[in-house]
Chains A and B, each alone.
Chain A
Amino acid sequence: DIQMTQSPSSLSASVGDRVTITCRASQGIGNDLVWYQQRPGKAPKRLIYAASTLQSGVPSRFSGSGSGTEFTLTISSLQSEDFATYYCLQHNVYPRAFGQGTKVEIK
């Protein structure tokens, strides 16, 4: 099975900060990667698909990059509503696999 490893597991940041989250796959997955945001008590919300394509309705401060085994999610200027947990998901092979999550907290 493919393992998806996110780093860091958590981070503290301030409003306006640039934040980067990394997701590494244990084997190449092309660009078959999705990023989700999950707020407490809510269902996940897709932010990015195909590694770098912004989901409709998602603010442009979110961006994704990478292919193969290394991917990044960047928030260019953190807003208060962005404090949440972020997950990557690979859909290249079965079983689908989520990363363990990165919790973004207020500094």
Chain B
Amino acid sequence: QVQLVQSGAEVKNPGASVKVSCKASGYTFTAHYIHWARQAPGKGLEWMGWIYPSSGNTNYAQRFQGRVTMTRDTSTTTAYMELSSLSSDDTAIYFCASVTYSGGSDFDYWGQGTLVTVSS
């Protein structure tokens, strides 16, 4: 079965970077986009961007441009999201999702989420 397993919770100081991993299994890793979204405590979902594992192409939301880097390792079927220059506003649960939205596809699987806490 399709599974996305994310790395564990992180606590970071302001100004630091965090790198969250997303290990995919049960499907062809290179066939579907990996999206990243986050959810601040008690707030709604916010889309951050995607990476296409086959090519490594990325598309980031403008508000994260320059601070976010999405990469992948096809040999281990793992995607990564690195966010730099952290502030308390970045405290959130970060989700990866393997999703195809176009072409009438119903392929949509999410990781369990990774809590990132930014605190001094």
Contacts and interface: CB of A to CB of B under 8 A. Distances in A.
A98 B44 contact: yes
Interface in B45-83: 45-47, 49, 59, 61-62
Interface residues of B, number: 22
A57 B5 CA distance: 22
Interface string A47-91: 001100101100000000000000000000000000000010101
B10 interface: no
Contact of A49 (B46, B49, B104): B104
Contacts, number: 55
A23 interface: no
Interface residues of A, number: 25
A15 to B, nearest CB: 26
B29 interface: no
Nearest to A6: B44
B46 A98 contact: yes
B106 A46 contact: yes
Nearest to A43: B110
22 contacts: A1-B62, A32-B101, A34-B101, A34-B108, A44-B95, A44-B97, A44-B110, A45-B110, A46-B108, A49-B105, A49-B106, A53-B104, A56-B106, A87-B45, A91-B102, A94-B59, A95-B47, A95-B62, A96-B47, A96-B61, A98-B47, A101-B45
